[in-house]
A and B are shown apart, each in its own frame.
Chain A
């Protein structure tokens, strides 16, 4: 009680301070919150991008730990290498080509400016004319593209060669993601068509999910995963604590992912919306976990920690397309439906013999589609037609483009390690560094 009273006072004090800073020329009527001086808003907006950016950047660690925990012990150090490599490649590609392609000169079209000269940041000691530092926005958006690439690495783990994966990452983060991202976030044709995707259920997660799905199909399942008589052979996670830590890191990073996608923090309205987004984001993740727990108990009579972890992430992906307008109950239900999707989609993919090592396709693709559709339940500005149109555009473009890249790699340099190398584990066969050299015995 005391706490909430103090909190109320703080807000009031901030409002007074803001009004004072703004001065008489910015005086507002009583119905709307007072706004701050342009420079103050610039600082707060930029700060939002920076804080959101490093939260999303740390999701790279979350993905790395989640994947390291869910692959078998003989492939762990390779998975860690792929993750730090993809994060770095994503950053460079997004500087070099991606950001311009996504954000400059899109103007309702299908892509932005193609330039080989990289993105120009603000001069040292100077800000841009707009309402935030351009470098802060670049940093924030760069962390998103890295998340897309991380989604792919988990699905195709344990049998994909390192260099073909890195080449795919170059294309995904430098071209596929920026072009498709420009359609909505770069004010391209989908923005004009009324498509809504607040923080990227489709733009980030489904794009990564589609690329991963195509990769998994072109690559084929891990050897021994599906038997000739139709059985699924589980390949057990090597480290549940790491996978759990990775999920919690992703969950935390998601507050930056969704919260900072408000893109502004210079007014009481914005910062209140960000707070509401934090609350909804957390509730959706919790809903995803609880739904997974209940469904697993009912369907299998037994809980499975890896499914609960997937459930949290599916809840988060589901709320990402619209984390602001749902009420708390709606947020829980949207997340819960995402968790439900995971419980049904993981065995379904196995039936189709699509080997998704970490469950990234149910989590990022299926829950991403669900979240994008769910926008229409709470956001009166969204229409089902526009949402489905957007989902279809991203599906066709990403599937076709990534299929071309995966197939080109497959029939040139080859994408898959040999059977013997796969059995030995990529840690030893590809890079010669084992994650757990004291404990592995060649059987992973």
Chain B
């Protein structure tokens, strides 16, 4: 099992969700987050003073999937969330040791 964490542009959520549903991903968790990457945020002007918006709003998606589908999941996110512009985000893949469906007590791949 793998745990896929994706940081995406907020307005791309619906497209990503549809793309993941299309390849059979059963569920995902979304969190509103703020952060910065190589561009170190953006520059804005307020009342004549320039300032950096150091943390840009993003969405963090967390998806637990079977190891076999990870390449498709990552590719689906890349296609759906990509705009070709800076700030499109990142995808991280982590090993997932255990999972359990709380209602039934099923564990492992059964619980995904």
Where the two chains meet, the residues of A that have a C-beta atom closer than 8 Å to any C-beta of B are: 232-234, 236, 300, 302, 304, 306-307, 343, 346-347, 350, 359
Residues in B whose Cβ lies below 8 Å from that of A359:
47
- Which residue on chain B has the smallest CB distance to residue A345? B48
Residue B102 at the A interface, CB < 8 A? Answer: no
Shortest Cβ gap from B104 to chain A (Å) = 36
Shortest Cβ gap from B96 to chain A (Å) = 31
Q: Judge whether A347 and B46 touch: CB under 8 Å.
A: no
Main secondary structure of the interface of B (DSSP, over half): strand
Residues in B whose Cβ lies below 8 Å from that of A236:
46
- Which residue on chain B has the smallest CB distance to residue A233? B51
Residue B49 at the A interface, CB < 8 A? Answer: yes
Q: Judge whether B51 and A304 touch: CB under 8 Å.
A: no
Q: How large is the interface on B (under 10, 10 to 19, 20 to 34, 35 or more residues)?
A: under 10
Residues in B whose Cβ lies below 8 Å from that of A300:
45, 48
Q: Judge whether B51 and A307 touch: CB under 8 Å.
A: no
Q: Judge whether A232 and B45 touch: CB under 8 Å.
A: no
Cα-based distance from A369 to B48 in the complex (angstroms): 22
Q: Judge whether B49 and A304 touch: CB under 8 Å.
A: no
23 A–B contacts from the bound complex (CB under 8 Å): A232-B51, A234-B46, A234-B47, A234-B49, A234-B51, A236-B46, A300-B45, A300-B48, A302-B45, A304-B46, A304-B48, A306-B46, A306-B47, A307-B47, A307-B48, A346-B47, A346-B48, A347-B47, A347-B48, A347-B49, A350-B47, A350-B48, A350-B49
Where the two chains meet, the residues of B that have a C-beta atom closer than 8 Å to any C-beta of A are: 45-49, 51
Given contacts A232-B49, A233-B49, A234-B49, list 12 more A-B pairs with CB under 8 A: A233-B51, A234-B47, A236-B46, A300-B48, A304-B46, A307-B47, A307-B48, A343-B48, A346-B47, A350-B47, A350-B48, A350-B49
Shortest Cβ gap from A306 to chain B (Å) = 6
Cα-based distance from A334 to B41 in the complex (angstroms): 40
Cα-based distance from A300 to B45 in the complex (angstroms): 8
Residues in A whose Cβ lies below 8 Å from that of B49:
232-234, 347, 350
Shortest Cβ gap from B40 to chain A (Å) = 15
Give the most central of A234, A307, A343, A346: most B CB within 10 Å.
A234
Residues in B whose Cβ lies below 8 Å from that of A343:
48
Shortest Cβ gap from A147 to chain B (Å) = 23
Shortest Cβ gap from B57 to chain A (Å) = 14
CB-CB nearest 10 A-B residue pairs: A347-B48, A234-B46, A232-B49, A234-B51, A300-B45, A234-B49, A346-B48, A346-B47, A302-B45, A306-B47
Shortest Cβ gap from B78 to chain A (Å) = 33
Shortest Cβ gap from B41 to chain A (Å) = 14
Residues in B whose Cβ lies below 8 Å from that of A350:
47-49
Residues in B whose Cβ lies below 8 Å from that of A232:
49, 51
Shortest Cβ gap from B55 to chain A (Å) = 11
Residues in B whose Cβ lies below 8 Å from that of A306:
46-47
Residues in B whose Cβ lies below 8 Å from that of A234:
46-47, 49, 51
Cα-based distance from A346 to B48 in the complex (angstroms): 7
- Which residue on chain B has the smallest CB distance to residue A310? B47
- Which residue on chain B has the smallest CB distance to residue A70? B47
